[in-house]
Amino acid sequence: MATKKENPGPQKLNVRVPKRWNLSATALKDLQKALQPIAKDTIARLNGPGDVIVCVVRTPPTR
């Protein structure tokens, strides 16, 4: 089983464009680069503004 790293950063996105646009490979690469997210992260967080019920239980269960 491979080990995994937290928050590996943004994945390369790859959007195809129609051939009839006649975009050169360089132009397409530049465009894709200009649209890539600069950074991406995943954080643990209870979502939203509503009331969230927080419950932290000592595990393993108490004896």
Interacting residues with other proteins (CB under 8 A): 1, 3-7, 10, 13, 15, 17, 21, 23, 27, 30-63
Residue 17 CB, shortest distance to other proteins, in Å, is: 6
Token pair 């969230």 is found at 52
Nearest to 15 by CA among 23, 4, 7: 23
Structure tokens at 12: 């390369």
Residue 18 CB, shortest distance to other proteins, in Å, is: 9
Residue 43 CB, shortest distance to other proteins, in Å, is: 5
